[in-house]
Structure 1
Amino acid sequence: MADDPVAVLDFWLGEIGPEGWYSVDAAVDQEIRDRFGDLWQAACDGGLEHWCEGTVGSLAFLILTDQFPRNMFRGEALAFATDPLARDAARKAIAAGWDLGAPEPERQFFYLPLEHSEAPEDQATAVRMFEERMPETGAEGLLHAHAHAAIIARFGRFPFRNAALGRASTPEEEDFLSAGAYAAEVRRLRG
């Protein structure tokens, strides 16, 4: 098990890189499970909170608890299991200004846990962070922050998580899902 925040960063920022961060790739998902599954479990169990004391450790913790589970457990409830840990770490890092110590576009990983939240106040903070703290590369991230916020404003939750979380979809949510869901919302905002 890799137990160093730098191992997480080297993998996600270096090996995977921006072109792979939002791709769906079963081989990458498996590699993350194999290399970082035990480390994710350690974070889930509260054993890595000491990482959240500066830019580097916090960034690695956020990738481990917000990004990696979405790959490791794609389509399952466990994909969202460490979201509360990631949100708490993101809030702490933003308040301390540690996010500003990370270059763009890596800085976005400090804001994504808030963008992934189903709480409207977190959505508002994510939008504001992309507006204020991602001046060079944040336009695309800001678009996605607005898309997430619009979905939460409309439904109060992310309907595309309903199946994984065992939640029943409303007729309005079913219409949204059948009309293209998140991708359709992004297209709407681009237009």
Structure 2
Amino acid sequence: MTAATTPWANILDFWFPEGCSLDVEAEPHRDHWSWRLHGGADTVIVERFADLTRGAASGELDAWAVDPEGRLALIVVLDQFSRSLWRGTPRAFAQDPAALSLAIVGLSNGHYESLKTPWFRIVYSQPFGHCEGADHLQRIDLLISLREEIALQAPVPLQPIYRSLVKQAGDVRKIIAAFGRHPHRNQVLGRQSAPEEESYIAAGDFPHQRAFQG
């Protein structure tokens, strides 16, 4: 998928085994992404990419962002590998602002538009929903709009999967509108949960766990 000489080739080849081909089967594609985004790849990420993830978190790989695929790889590392490497600790979410900044700039400089597959664009845009902040609702509205476009442009056999991600983003929006943050992170981040958040957490029905399950 990527030139072997690029420093980010291994990341993209690992995270996107489909490569750039749009000729993929829907069920294996959905199952792969559901497994991967729900922690299935944690062990491999820690074994293969721990040092690289620490370097990215320290800003050592910022120069990658001059290239569209390098920017995508940085987003993968900061938004996804960080969650695997530091799962269950506050540091799992500490890279969210950096990933968001990369995604915002890439929307304006053409990097996002240059990405050719729906899975590249979905992963690229995840920081809009992941990163907490005062503008969270506006960013999720943008995320929903991007996902609607992705679903329309996806190969017909894959469209139900990508339409389900539009709904999933809408479900996340309801949570942010109600609480202003992701309550499921409260314990890890040492935050006090409001009574309404406690009820939501106790129910255990979190929208982020529904990704790629449609």
TM-score range, shorter chain: 0.7 to 0.9
In the alignment, the residues of structure 2 paired with residue 24 and residue 47 of structure 1 have an alpha-carbon distance, to the nearest angstrom, of 25
Residue aligning to 2:65: 52
Is the 8 Å Cα contact of residues 114 and 126 (structure 1) preserved in structure 2?
Answer: yes
In the alignment, the residues of structure 2 paired with residue 19 and residue 142 of structure 1 have an alpha-carbon distance, to the nearest angstrom, of 15
User: C-alpha root-mean-square deviation of aligned residues, in Å?
Assistant: 2.4
Residue aligning to 1:123: 140
Report sequence identity in percent: 32
CA 1:51–1:134 in structure 2 vs 1: closer, same or farther (change >3 Å)?
Answer: farther
Is the 8 Å Cα contact of residues 159 and 173 (structure 1) preserved in structure 2?
Answer: yes
Deviation at 1:117, TM superposition (A): 2.0
Which residue identity does 1:122 align to in structure 2? R
Could you give the per-residue CA deviations for residues 131-185 of structure 1, whole angstroms, max 9, x where no partner exists?
2344224312212211211111110010000011000111100001112231599
Structure 1 alignment gaps of length 5 or more = none
Q: Which has the higher contact order (CA 8 A, sep 6+)?
A: 2
Which residue identity does 1:12 align to in structure 2? W
TM-score (norm 2): 0.77
The answer as to 2:120 corresponding to 1:106 is yes
- Equivalences, count: 183
Deviation at 1:41, TM superposition (A): 1.2
Pick which of 68-77 and 10-19 moved more: 10-19
Pairs within 5 Å for 1:42-81:
42-81=55-94
- Structure having the larger proportion of residues in helix: 1
TM-score (norm 1): 0.86
In the alignment, the residues of structure 2 paired with residue 181 and residue 95 of structure 1 have an alpha-carbon distance, to the nearest angstrom, of 35
Is the 8 Å Cα contact of residues 94 and 110 (structure 1) preserved in structure 2?
Answer: no
In the alignment, the residues of structure 1 paired with residue 124 and residue 79 of structure 2 have an alpha-carbon distance, to the nearest angstrom, of 10
Which residue identity does 2:194 align to in structure 1? T
Deviation at 1:54, TM superposition (A): 2.9
Provide the secondary structure at the position in 2 that maps to 1:105: helix
In the alignment, the residues of structure 1 paired with residue 202 and residue 35 of structure 2 have an alpha-carbon distance, to the nearest angstrom, of 26
The answer as to 2:39 corresponding to 1:24 is yes
Pairs within 5 Å for 1:145-184:
145-183=169-207
Runs of 4+ that moved beyond 3 A:
183-186
CA 1:170–1:113 in structure 2 vs 1: closer, same or farther (change >3 Å)?
Answer: same
Deviation at 1:114, TM superposition (A): 0.6
Residue aligning to 2:54: 41
Deviation at 1:109, TM superposition (A): 1.1
In the alignment, the residues of structure 1 paired with residue 137 and residue 208 of structure 2 have an alpha-carbon distance, to the nearest angstrom, of 20
Provide the secondary structure at the position in 2 that maps to 1:75: coil
In the alignment, the residues of structure 2 paired with residue 169 and residue 79 of structure 1 have an alpha-carbon distance, to the nearest angstrom, of 19
Is the 8 Å Cα contact of residues 147 and 185 (structure 1) preserved in structure 2?
Answer: no
Could you give the per-residue CA deviations for residues 116-138 of structure 1, whole angstroms, max 9, x where no partner exists?
12222222221121123442243
Which residue identity does 1:154 align to in structure 2? A
